[in-house]
Structure 1
Amino acid sequence: MTKDPVCGMVGKEELKYEYKGHIFYFCSNFCRNEFQKSPENYTGQRYITTAVEGKKERKIAYFSMEIGINSHIPTYSGGLGVLAGDTIRSCADLKVPMVAVTLLYEKGYFYQKLDILGNQQEIPVQWNPEDFLKPLPNKVSVQIEKRTVVIQAWQFNILGITGYSVPIVFLDTDLKENNEYDRGLNDYLYGGDQRYRFAQEIILGVGGVRMLHNLGYTEIRKYHLNEGHASLLTLELLQEQKIKNEFLWDYETVRNLCVFTTHTPVPAGHDQFSYDLVNRVLGELVPLDILKMLAGEEKLNTTLLALNLSKYINGVAKKHGDVSKSMFPGYPIDSITNGVHSVTWTCDSFKELYDKYIPGWKNDPFSLRYALNIPKREIWQAHDKAKRILVDYINKEENAGFHYDTFTIGFARRATLYKRADLVFSDINRLIDISDTMGKIQIVFAGKAHPQDWPGKEMIKRIFSDINRLRDKVKIIYLENYDMELGKMLTSGVDLWLNTPQRPNEASGTSGMKATHNGVPSFSVLDGWWIEGHIEGVTGWSIGPETIDSGYDSKKDAEELYRKLETIIVPIFYHNRNKWIGIMQHSIAINASFFNTHRMVQQYVLNSYFI
């Protein structure tokens, strides 16, 4: 039985490929294409069978409503899903015995189309799961609105650079056994109304636990809930313990099984469902009085449920841990700052550079601290290659007339008001003056607004209006359909990464971490991870103070943004290239070496997984 070297699945005879005298067999065109792009990542590894064997050795079950594997598999919307994918990649690299669970979204999040005025149109994503995932024969069922809803499983294996594999189990209700409504329950990520969303969380939490047991994962030691969407799994575990322990509600055993990571400091980001809806859709998985004790008296708060039934709880940055404690006083909330998967988010030119000067960095990102020893000339050459790829893409797709040598600022986040993507347009004349007098500036934006986030959609339209007003003065473009592939080009190809959230709404943020792996310094509000990664003038620059009083407003942040661009950042870029490259080196050596998921996963292992 031949194994696909990319994912570990069974290869097909018709998809064989010869490389350096060896024959490789692939399970899909996608895997063959991935191999052809970078065969050195896969050759020489031992081909594994752990994806389908050794299930009892899997001790960690990682549950996430979204997981970002790549742009071809649209089962993610943004940061939460991309973080989940990066976490799983690092677990595969570090041989952490994990299995992951999520939903299979047949129409994805959405494909974003923007017209000339910036109006966002959401289009279903067209993809065929069979091109990327392996269907499994196993089926389980859950009760939704007193109907039996059957769930099947698909699998994708993340193969680590050490040859170890972490399987991802995708849950799917699009089966002939289900009615039309139930078949569509995994059509859209974060789609539909409260009823639809709650049904999805039943599938993920309750159905996910049942599916793992059905697949043979019977020795799970910890269930990691990546945000509150998965918290209903605690109720399924409670039921299991009740059966095992003579019908007693064994809360402590369930707590010892669960690890909970909360990701949002914004109250609206914590899912809440009325008990009328809960009773109608879920039924009485546990008695209502117990559920209210665990999840809140007025509504079922998924975050509160996870907090009450998890032994280890963490926020995703030091500041976010403190904010979470203030939101949920009395709970022992730790913090593990997020990271990104170094190999995934480092562009090809910098990978070659690190391979040359820091061998072993791929599985030891901490060694990137030696970036200070890389010759500055080669740092700049690697950056120039990445920038040319981005500029060529922008000019090809948008006919934007961007220039290779012009100072390029990047901003790509979810388009929602608190991210303040339009802060840089607070004083258009000031922006024009900086570009005219200190050195030309060009700016590239990207980001999707949630389909129901009307203020976020209006913000995109305002940015388009500002772009039109600046058309002959400052080159600015807003790229549509921000995804992982575009994110890689942006975070490696710009000269400066801009981030302007309203404090303290940035739980962590990871886009700046991706940029720093490519030597791109950040210019950011002191919130989330940047509080920990910022050294003024060394790894980048800050916008405003870390703490603000009640009278502080966006005008002050905008003023400091313009002042530092005008007097510090743009002059260094154009007139002190040696100093600029030094900042790039320190950004890699100090921040990329720490803000990676290898370090993050090691903290989870030591603090929660195996204690």
Structure 2
Amino acid sequence: MYNISGLKGRKIAYFSMEIGLKNEMPTYSGGLGILAGDTIRASADLGLPLIAVTLLNRKGYFMQKLDSEGRQTEHHQDWAPADYMELLPHEVTVQIQNKDVKVKAWLYEHKSMTEEKVPVLFLDTDLEGNSPDNRQITYSLYGGDRKYRLKQEMILGIGGVRMLNCLGCSISKYHMNEGHSSLLAIELLRQNNMNAEKVKEHCVFTTHTPIKSGHDVFLHDIVLDLMSDYVNFETLKKYGGEHDLNMTLLGLNLSNYINGVAKRHREISQKMFPGYKFNSITNGVHSYTWVTPHFRQLYDKYLPGWANEPELLVRVRSIPDNEIWDAHKAAKKELIDFVNSKCDTKMDYNTLTIGFARRVTEYKRPTFIFSDLSRLRKVNEAGKIQLIFAGKAHPRDTMGKGFIEKIHQYAKELKGEIEIAYLENYDIDIAMKMVSGVDIWLNNPQKPLEASGTSGMKAAHNGVVNFSVLDGWWIEGCVEGITGYAIGPKPEDEKTPEQIRMMELDDLYNKLEYIMIPKYYCRKDEWINLMNNSIEMIAYYFNSHRMMHRYVTEAYL
């Protein structure tokens, strides 16, 4: 039995709809959850008095199955929480549609190599006494309709605050990781005699998306149906929006510290929500977690202490180039063997390998590299390439699913020329293999819709070369030809969308054909220099230790 008194000293409550900590615990869907996991890992390393709050997601996000044509089907991912965490005896209730919904919490402890721990509360409504509908609130991440989503956000925000109170926690800062948890601010209003200024002092709000559809909005009819007995409706309209309940607006109006997740994202957010002061803390990744064991051994040998001081990676030049290359070859072999065992491919260890893995949706442009097949074939004639894709499309994103099918069609069309693989059911383990095993990490979202992005940071930690559109974090990380390569013009260049697209395509094909392929195949020392630069100039800075130092000094203190 966990000693509950150990929770009472926690001062920072980190709320996130999804948190990715272990591959076997499907409590995440993608970047937001993986970032939350890295936040917890870094907080433990640094000994921060943080406690995290999320939902249990008994059925996970979904298990992706792809048939031979690339058609995606979704399946529940049942798992046993008791294998990883302990159900606490404490219970709170949240009123939904005039009924008390019981909420309990499973406690998971993340333990750092420094022996420090960060507790994570996974809220659960699958309890005796709750109606069948309400038992399922904590079943499926991002599943169901708008009512289901609002119920989940009520459990997370309202139930989360009540559970922390029930456990005796004395929280000084509540960090809302995206708008899903914004109802915690309404619960704090209720507990502080509707004193908004007092609530703002305790709240930190981070927004992660420059896409309008990425901000949760609920019609007032749904809000009244689910929450009419909970809070004065005029209060919700005052802080959450006159015409509907905008969860981002709610977080903005009740937080003293607001930030975007990259410098460019701060600018975009400022335009989306004029009148609010946005700060920027660029995301980072947990270095030790995202470095392949092949590189960990090197870093341990030449850069002792790097795991808890990732800034030491700036000294990567102390590692002989041949050892850097050997570590990369070992990681690449692992990936290629895995791909060939899972897909109908004959990928080669020595071929320049390009990786593209992320949530599959329109703005990510997963089929962009296939825009001009004649030019892609010309690239391949200059030096052989092979492509590895992975990623899930949301069950309701028919266009996203269509992209996966198109990639399978291109794979068949180019069979015998360019080997193309699509790995199903993208998860933490597959991500680890990809970000360390490919030679080039490709990212070509439609600007300015990438808030930050973190997969390229993980790739850089493993000496993989980034090749990306200048959006999100890459605007800060790219030194052309030194840390990697840019696709297309700078954000400040005033061009039409069509001009931008043509410049991006020219860069994509020309830089591959005339710069990257010759370097990889003919000037290996220059390629290894790029790898060293990625580690020295990107990994040392774009890590979650630096990110959390910033949150502590700017948002929490």
Q: TM-score, normalised by structure 2?
A: 0.98
- DSSP 3-state at the match of 1:509: coil
| The one of 553, 559, 562 aligned to 2:506 | 559
- DSSP 3-state at the match of 1:53: helix
- Tell me what 1:427 maps to: 372
| The one of 390, 395, 406 aligned to 1:451 | 395
- Tell me what 2:520 maps to: 573
Over the residues paired in the alignment, what is the CA RMSD in angstroms?
1.0
- Tell me what 2:465 maps to: 521
Q: Describe how 1:131-210 pairs up with structure 2 within 5 A.
A: 131-210=83-162
Q: Are the equivalent residues in 1 in contact too, given 2:108–2:121 (CA < 8 A)? A: yes
1:232 and 2:183 matched: yes
**1:335-385 Cα distance to aligned partner (Å, 9 max, x none):** 000000000000001000000111010110011000122111000011011
The alpha carbon displacement at 1:313 in A equals 0.3
The alpha carbon displacement at 1:555 in A equals 3.2
- Tell me what 1:549 maps to: 495
- DSSP 3-state at the match of 1:443: strand
| The one of 391, 406, 424 aligned to 2:351 | 406
Q: Describe how 1:388-407 pairs up with structure 2 within 5 A.
A: 388-407=333-352
- DSSP 3-state at the match of 1:414: coil
**Aligned mates of 1:372, 1:329 — CA distance in 2:** 45
**Aligned mates of 2:443, 2:224 — CA distance in 1:** 42
1:471 and 2:424 matched: no
The alpha carbon displacement at 1:549 in A equals 2.2
1:69 and 2:18 matched: no
Aligned residue identity for 1:116: S
- DSSP 3-state at the match of 2:5: coil
1:415 and 2:366 matched: no
| The one of 258, 262, 281 aligned to 1:336 | 281
Q: Are the equivalent residues in 2 in contact too, given 1:112–1:123 (CA < 8 A)? A: yes
Q: Are the equivalent residues in 2 in contact too, given 1:107–1:188 (CA < 8 A)? A: yes
**Aligned mates of 2:180, 2:229 — CA distance in 1:** 19
Aligned residue identity for 1:452: R
**Aligned mates of 2:125, 2:8 — CA distance in 1:** 26
Q: Describe how 1:226-265 pairs up with structure 2 within 5 A.
A: 226-242=177-193, 249-265=194-210
1:221 and 2:221 matched: no
**Aligned mates of 2:50, 2:416 — CA distance in 1:** 53
Q: Which moved more, 1:54-63 or 1:387-396?
A: 54-63
- DSSP 3-state at the match of 1:589: helix
Q: Which moved more, 1:284-293 or 1:301-310?
A: 284-293
Q: Are the equivalent residues in 1 in contact too, given 2:4–2:167 (CA < 8 A)? A: no
1:497 and 2:441 matched: yes
- DSSP 3-state at the match of 2:89: strand
1:488 and 2:432 matched: yes
**Aligned mates of 2:344, 2:70 — CA distance in 1:** 17
The alpha carbon displacement at 1:151 in A equals 0.6
Q: Are the equivalent residues in 2 in contact too, given 1:63–1:100 (CA < 8 A)? A: yes
Count residues with an aligned counterpart: 554
Q: Describe how 1:262-341 pairs up with structure 2 within 5 A.
A: 262-341=207-286
Aligned residue identity for 2:375: R
The alpha carbon displacement at 1:422 in A equals 0.4
- DSSP 3-state at the match of 1:395: helix
Q: Are the equivalent residues in 2 in contact too, given 1:259–1:313 (CA < 8 A)? A: yes
The alpha carbon displacement at 1:52 in A equals 3.8
- DSSP 3-state at the match of 2:252: helix
Q: Are the equivalent residues in 1 in contact too, given 2:282–2:547 (CA < 8 A)? A: yes
**Aligned mates of 1:285, 1:150 — CA distance in 2:** 15
Aligned residue identity for 1:186: T
The alpha carbon displacement at 1:434 in A equals 1.5
Q: Are the equivalent residues in 1 in contact too, given 2:56–2:124 (CA < 8 A)? A: yes
Q: Which moved more, 1:130-139 or 1:80-89?
A: 130-139
**Aligned mates of 1:418, 1:499 — CA distance in 2:** 11
The alpha carbon displacement at 1:429 in A equals 1.8
**Aligned mates of 2:99, 2:415 — CA distance in 1:** 57
Aligned residue identity for 2:555: S
- DSSP 3-state at the match of 2:87: strand
Runs of at least 5 residues in structure 1 that lack an aligned partner in the other structure: 1-9, 11-48, 243-248
- DSSP 3-state at the match of 2:546: helix
- DSSP 3-state at the match of 1:88: helix
- Tell me what 1:588 maps to: 535
**1:140-159 Cα distance to aligned partner (Å, 9 max, x none):** 11011111100111011011
4+ runs deviating over 4 angstroms: none
- Tell me what 1:5 maps to: none
**1:176-221 Cα distance to aligned partner (Å, 9 max, x none):** 110110111111100000000000000000000001111121x100
Q: Describe how 1:344-355 pairs up with structure 2 within 5 A.
A: 344-355=289-300
**Aligned mates of 2:7, 2:339 — CA distance in 1:** 46
Q: Describe how 1:108-147 pairs up with structure 2 within 5 A.
A: 108-147=60-99
**Aligned mates of 1:411, 1:580 — CA distance in 2:** 20
**Aligned mates of 2:227, 2:284 — CA distance in 1:** 35
- Tell me what 1:462 maps to: 406
Aligned residue identity for 1:324: S
**Aligned mates of 1:108, 1:413 — CA distance in 2:** 18
**Aligned mates of 1:111, 1:546 — CA distance in 2:** 38
Q: Are the equivalent residues in 1 in contact too, given 2:13–2:171 (CA < 8 A)? A: yes
Aligned residue identity for 1:319: R
Aligned residue identity for 1:584: M
Q: TM-score, normalised by structure 1?
A: 0.90
**1:464-522 Cα distance to aligned partner (Å, 9 max, x none):** 11111011110000100000110000000000000000000000000000000000010
**1:306-356 Cα distance to aligned partner (Å, 9 max, x none):** 000000000000000010001001101000000000000000010000001
Aligned residue identity for 2:338: Y
The alpha carbon displacement at 1:553 in A equals 4.3
The alpha carbon displacement at 1:284 in A equals 4.3
- DSSP 3-state at the match of 1:405: coil
Q: Are the equivalent residues in 2 in contact too, given 1:151–1:171 (CA < 8 A)? A: yes
Q: Are the equivalent residues in 1 in contact too, given 2:98–2:229 (CA < 8 A)? A: no
**Aligned mates of 1:456, 1:397 — CA distance in 2:** 22
| The one of 338, 358, 375 aligned to 2:303 | 358
**Aligned mates of 2:346, 2:15 — CA distance in 1:** 44
**Aligned mates of 1:522, 1:129 — CA distance in 2:** 37
**Aligned mates of 1:308, 1:434 — CA distance in 2:** 51
- DSSP 3-state at the match of 1:528: coil
Aligned residue identity for 1:549: K
The alpha carbon displacement at 1:56 in A equals 2.7
- Tell me what 1:40 maps to: none
**Aligned mates of 2:556, 2:230 — CA distance in 1:** 27
- DSSP 3-state at the match of 1:430: helix
Q: Are the equivalent residues in 2 in contact too, given 1:70–1:485 (CA < 8 A)? A: no
The alpha carbon displacement at 1:539 in A equals 0.7
The alpha carbon displacement at 1:59 in A equals 0.5
**Aligned mates of 1:538, 1:373 — CA distance in 2:** 18
Q: Are the equivalent residues in 2 in contact too, given 1:142–1:206 (CA < 8 A)? A: yes
- Tell me what 1:30 maps to: none
**Aligned mates of 1:319, 1:121 — CA distance in 2:** 36
Q: Are the equivalent residues in 2 in contact too, given 1:235–1:285 (CA < 8 A)? A: no
- DSSP 3-state at the match of 1:171: strand
- DSSP 3-state at the match of 2:412: helix
Aligned residue identity for 2:501: S
